Homo-oligomer: A and B are copies of this chain.
Amino acid sequence: MRDAAPQGTYKVQALDRAFAVLDLLGESETPLGLAQVAASLQLHKSTAHRFLMVLERHRMVERTANGKFRLGLRLFDFGNRAIEQYDLRDRAQPHLRRLVAETEETAHLALLEAARVIYIDKIEPTRSVRMITRIGASNPVHCTSVGKAILAFLPPERASEILKRVRFERMTTRTIATPEALRAELEKTRRRGYAVDDEELEEGLRCIAVPVLDAQRLPVAAVSVSGPSFRVTAQKLPTIANHLLQCVRGISMDMGYVPAGRGARTALSA
């Protein structure tokens, strides 16, 4: 096969193809027909058809009224089982709600995975423009407050391991573009106690984040507050950060974290 198949050594053609189908359907805004799928993936019609049928049997895809294919709800089921195992999300929700009530801005809960952050929950204030983020979506670490918050408080060796894998894509003019700059920023984050994303991911969007710690006092996630730069002003940052810290302390303690004794320096010390 002339398949792109990068470095991954183990291969099961059928699986790669099946996931390619799911990927395709996931990317596409609109449901796709058999022919489109076959063409996009360079599969023979009959091959693509077989895959689609099997996927449908497993309810990984389903058909719309006009016979086109889209992702199936089984995936939704799986997805929820997947995060259930970190039951962070359920525990965090009430705290996030309070945070949103206090700040009147959108709050996100995100996990670190490889060199990206994945948003696992989002709470929006009642009256606010809908933010574009999608639960389940991901962004690079280097241009998000949550990414920086987690990275800053990870043990140095794990942090640099991740740093090595960052590709420093440029999202806006302010996006951090070099490893050195990022390291400096992380140091700043540590001193300040919270991470800031000042329009580094998206013009006009400012975010501030603090890590959630587990029983080992290691960051497992982060919570951020995001809003338009004109509302989330530099003056307000400390206030918001305070709310954030309280929120995150609550979540962390729900997760089994015990505050450090006197003198110990951790992400959540006052």
Which residues of A are interface residues toward B (Cβ below 8 A)?
8-12, 14-16, 18-19, 22, 26, 31, 50-51, 53-55, 57-60, 70-73, 75-85, 90, 94, 97, 111, 113, 118, 120, 126, 130, 134-138
Most B CB contacts (10 A, CB to CB) among A14, A82, A111 go to A82
- Chain B contacts for A111, CB-based, 8 A: 73
Residue of B nearest to A13 (CB): B14
Most B CB contacts (10 A, CB to CB) among A11, A19, A134, A137 go to A19
Select one of B10, B72, B97, B126 contacting A82, CB under 8 A. Answer: B72
Select one of B55, B77, B85 contacting A118, CB under 8 A. Answer: B77
Say yes or no: B118 contacts A16, CB within 8 Å: no
CA A8 – CA B19 in complex, angstroms?
20
Say yes or no: B84 contacts A79, CB within 8 Å: no
Say yes or no: A54 contacts B136, CB within 8 Å: no
- Chain B contacts for A50, CB-based, 8 A: 10, 12
Select one of B19, B55, B60, B73 contacting A58, CB under 8 A. Answer: B19
Say yes or no: B79 contacts A76, CB within 8 Å: yes
Residue of B nearest to A16 (CB): B54
CA A78 – CA B79 in complex, angstroms?
7
Q: Mind listing 27 A-B residue pairs with CB under 8 Å? A: A8-B57, A10-B57, A11-B54, A12-B18, A12-B50, A12-B51, A14-B15, A15-B18, A15-B51, A16-B54, A16-B58, A19-B60, A22-B78, A26-B81, A71-B78, A71-B81, A71-B85, A73-B83, A73-B113, A76-B83, A76-B136, A77-B118, A77-B138, A78-B78, A79-B80, A80-B135, A97-B126
- Chain B contacts for A118, CB-based, 8 A: 73, 76-77
- Chain B contacts for A137, CB-based, 8 A: 77, 80
CA A57 – CA B7 in complex, angstroms?
10
Q: Chain B nearest CB: distance from A110 CB in Å?
A: 11
Instruction: Beyond the given A15-B18, A73-B118, A76-B79, please list 7 additional residue pairs across the A-B interface where CB-CB is below 8 A.
Output: A12-B54, A72-B82, A73-B113, A75-B82, A76-B136, A80-B135, A80-B136
CA A18 – CA B82 in complex, angstroms?
16
CA A219 – CA B11 in complex, angstroms?
44
- Chain B contacts for A22, CB-based, 8 A: 78
- Chain B contacts for A126, CB-based, 8 A: 94, 97
CA A84 – CA B26 in complex, angstroms?
10
- Chain B contacts for A14, CB-based, 8 A: 12, 14-15
Residue of B nearest to A138 (CB): B77
CA A250 – CA B60 in complex, angstroms?
31
Residue of B nearest to A62 (CB): B113
